[in-house]
A and B are shown apart, each in its own frame.
Chain A
Amino acid sequence: MPFTYPHFGSLTYVFEILLRELGRTDIMVPKKPSRKTSELGSRYSPEFVCTPFKLTLGTYIEMLDLGADELGIGGGNMYCRFGLYWPVQRLILEDLGYDFKFVPIPIYDKPLGLVKTLQAASNNCTVWETIKAFRTTWIKTRFIELVDKLHFKYRTLEMEKNQADKLAEEAHRKIVEIQGLRNLRKYGRKLPELFDKTIEIDQEKKKAALKIGVCGEIYVALEPTLNLDVHRKLNELGVITKNCVSFGMLIDFERKINPFITLPYQKARRVAKPYIGQRCGGEAQENIGDIILYKKKKWDGLVHLYPFTCMPEIITRSIAPQVSREYDMPFLSLVVDEHTGETGFQTRLEAFVDLLSRKKEKTLD
């Protein structure tokens, strides 16, 4: 029974790691979605559902055509409609005549419930083995995200093009393949050094480089097909970028239960309290908090991405101008859907970067 799941930026590697650790040998790594995937998804999707629904549906159709028949997806109770993707997609795919099974993972369940579901999806793992597999996954995720961070930095500064892309791809693969946590930690510690040695840096660019965080709804912020590769676009404009949202933090139970560490998303939720006092689904509270946190870290601006008709992020978008004014932090909100034009997107990003660099020059004078 070949198992597949939606393509999710660099998190595609994370899901591959998890499935491998669970003893599955029949993994079909999803294809990178293209324009055609999103068109295919939109054709069979409801009219005003959010864009991630359409892209994941497109991916499923493509993968089912290639022979997959077990589909993994998040489920469970939440404020956002993400948990109801699979019942609807199941009906749509059934009507298209496919034969398959959905494996919903309740992501907001209690830890034990989550482990039970993972165990059911695994290849005869015991509970203890499942927990161990899950632990390996979150530790590897830390390094996957570290590679991303380095990637977005060195892609801006590199002298020769495509070096960072190649190295990041290699490093990701290596992390997936590596056996044993000891080897992994050893390799992970060397990562910054590896990037520093292999890639030659343009010193002039480094001085002028702006720093912009990319926040927003997690799927749009992390999936390059959907956000039209916003990181690459910004990197090419000479901007060092970073993902403000992180999936690794949410599954990293070791750091979550550690009372001595406050994770960035917990900090963000705390500082966002005066503006939005409670969780209301999506990344609404975290994004508002990030405006304040990244100002304190002296970053130059934030780009906020969200899919069309996303309920929680519309709340963010309405409140963000006030926060951005009060803290003097430039904030650009962009809606993304399958009709978003490449040029319009590029123009707006360029204008935003121009604005920020002029602002930076002024403060330097």
Chain B
Amino acid sequence: MKKRVGIPRALLYYKFEAMWKTFFEELGAEVIVSPETTKTIKDLAVRYAPDEDCYSTKLYFGHFIYLKDKVDYFFIPRFGSDHEVNVGCPKFIGLAQVLESLFPDFPEIIMPYYSQAKANHGKRRLLRIIFQVGFKFTYSPLKILKAGIRAIKAQRVYEEQLHISEQQLENWIKSKIILNEKPNLEKRKKPMKIALVGHPYVLNDSLSNLDIRESLSQRGVDIITSLQMPRITIENQMEKLDYNLYFSYEREILGTIMYFLENNTIDGILQLAVFSCGPDSIVLELASRYSRRQPETPLLQLVIDELSSEVGFSTRIEAFLDMIDRRN
């Protein structure tokens, strides 16, 4: 019988989906990913997660508990960073051991530790992790190596597809191409252009973002997400700062916001933040202060948590869109 590996569909899964799935499938394991967040999962999350964690981390607990009877192993890497100095969130590193400590009788958690920034891990460490994890599933080193290489390739292809080029960005601004959902143009002649900015695990999880992508496209809005922005544009923006914003995921967020504030080529920016997310609290303030200095492009900041209601949410979005309409 195939060994079953469970991956909760939350947090870093949205970033490394391609790599993790390919790796375990190539090893001959059965990959079980928890379904998209449902009401049941959210209830589990709110009941069992520590009450001070951020909303997204709480949802992780929900997905984890949902999978407990369906798998033989959990795969929760302790991922620090993939950059020389910039780091991820400290919670991603501690999460696996917190879960192990809170739920000791759950299936075994596979938790490789990889961090380039503080621990100086490089290719050798990656190779070691691949073999350490691989030997749990198969005894053939060749198969493991092949799986590892294919996984890394799959991730690279996925990222190339996700990140658009600068040329594409220009074309999108000129309305030549559409990057996401097709805007519904019943009430509008020309689609409104809005940048949707936030963490991948918020923008891609329709329960935690209260289905914002769908509701925006229904209202005739053409969106670009911060996940798609060309890396080079973001790095160029970050170099303009006189300090180093060392949270890698926040660089993407602030970079996108600063780029559109500066160039003033689109109608508005919508930033989604998670309640009690540490890095977000800093970037929310930075973004709002920068936007006050360059007020041409309007910026709406929404903070979500488990108590956010869809009605209050859509009212604010509607008000924002109306405001933009009146300006134009």
Contacts and interface: CB of A to CB of B under 8 A. Distances in A.
A275 B282 contact: no
Interface stretch (A16-24, A80-88, A159-167, A289-297): A80-88
Q: Which of A50, A80, A281 has the most CB of B within 10 A?
A: A281
B309 interface: no
B50 A309 contact: no
A80 B119 CA distance: 16
Interface string B93-130: 11001100110100000000101011100000000000
B243 A309 contact: no
Contacts of B175: none
B253 to A, nearest CB: 13
B282 A309 contact: no
7 contacts: A77-B87, A79-B90, A276-B97, A278-B78, A278-B80, A278-B119, A314-B53
Interface stretch (A189-197, A232-240, A315-323): A315-323
| Consensus secondary structure, chain B interface | mixed
Interface in A236-287: 275-282, 284
B281 A315 contact: no
Contacts of B241: 87
Interface string B73-100: 0000010100001110111011001100
Contact of A47 (B89, B281, B292): B281
A230 B278 CA distance: 26
Contacts of A308: 52
Interface string A296-324: 00000000000011111011011101100
Contacts of A66: none
B282 A81 contact: yes
Nearest to A335: B52
A29 to B, nearest CB: 27
Contact of B282 (A49, A279, A318, A321): A49
Interface in A36-71: 46-50
Given A80-B90, A95-B292, A275-B97, 17 more contacts: A46-B285, A49-B281, A81-B281, A84-B243, A84-B247, A92-B289, A278-B119, A280-B93, A311-B90, A311-B91, A311-B278, A314-B52, A315-B97, A317-B50, A318-B98, A319-B97, A322-B104
Interface of A: 46-50, 75, 77-81, 83-84, 86-88, 91-92, 95, 104, 275-282, 284, 308-312, 314-315, 317-319, 321-322, 335
Contacts of B281: 46-50, 81, 309
Given A81-B278, A278-B113, A278-B115, A315 B243 contact: no
A319 B246 contact: no
Interface string B247-285: 100000000000000000000000000011011011011
B85 A77 contact: yes
Contacts of B102: 318, 322
B33 interface: no
Contacts of B286: 87-88, 91
Nearest to A308: B52
Given A75-B243, A318-B98, A318-B102, A279 B118 contact: yes
Contacts of A284: 90, 94
Given A91-B286, A335-B52, A77 B246 contact: yes
B60 to A, nearest CB: 13
Nearest to B97: A276
B91 A315 contact: yes
B65 interface: no
Interface residues of B, number: 42
Interface in B140-176: none
B282 A84 contact: yes
B303 interface: yes
A47 B274 CA distance: 12
Smallest CB-CB A-B distances: 4 pairs: A315-B94, A46-B285, A91-B289, A281-B90
A317 B98 CA distance: 9
B38 interface: no
A275 B101 contact: yes
Given A88-B285, A92-B289, A318-B102, A81 B78 contact: no
A282 B244 CA distance: 19
A48 B87 contact: no
B29 interface: no
Contacts of B52: 308-309, 314, 317, 335
Contacts of A78: 87, 246
A81 B87 CA distance: 11
Nearest to A50: B278
Nearest to A46: B285
A258 B117 CA distance: 26
A48 B275 contact: yes
A172 B30 CA distance: 64
B302 interface: no
A292 B286 CA distance: 40
Q: Which of B80, B281, B284 has the most CB of A within 10 A?
A: B281
B245 interface: yes
A83 B246 contact: yes
Contacts of B279: 81
Q: Which of B78, B93, B244, B276 has the most CB of A within 10 A?
A: B93
A299 to B, nearest CB: 22
B303 A47 contact: yes
Interface string B215-248: 0000000000000000000000000010111110
B292 A88 contact: no
Nearest to B89: A311
Nearest to A95: B289
B272 to A, nearest CB: 15
Nearest to B277: A48
Contacts of A95: 289, 292
A276 B284 CA distance: 30
B118 A309 contact: no
A92 B285 CA distance: 9
Contacts of B289: 88, 91-92, 95
